[in-house]
Amino acid sequence: IISNDKINTLINESDKILRELSWDNIQGRNYLKKEFNVSARKDLNEEQLVSFVDKLKSIRDQFLTH
């Protein structure tokens, strides 16, 4: 069973990272399309959302260290 709390937490976390990256909705959607072939986070399952957040974190970490 997917917990909505976990999903909401992951979406909030991804919002925060997207802001830190200064990505707009279009950049976020393009990335979702490229990595997961979906156009919105609500189309991801919990496992994919975790992966999305992890990928964003690694982009952010590279972005902040350069």
Residue-wise pLDDT tens digits, 4-24: 899 999 999 999 999 999 999
- For the entire predicted model, the pTM comes to 0.88
What letters, b where the CB count within 10 A reaches 16 and e where it falls short, cover 47-66?
ebbeebbeebeebbeeeeee
Name the average pLDDT for the chain: 92
**Cβ 41 vs Cβ 49: under 8 Å:** yes
- C-alpha span between 5 and 19 (Å, rounded): 21
Q: Is the pLDDT of residue 2 over 70?
A: no
Quickly count: other Cβ atoms within 10 Å of residue 46's Cβ.
Answer: 14
Q: How confident is the model at residue 1 (pLDDT cuts 50, 70, 90)?
A: low
User: Three-state DSSP class for 23?
Assistant: coil
Express each pLDDT in 21-60 by its tens digit.
999 999 999 999 999 999 999 999 999 999 999 999 999 9
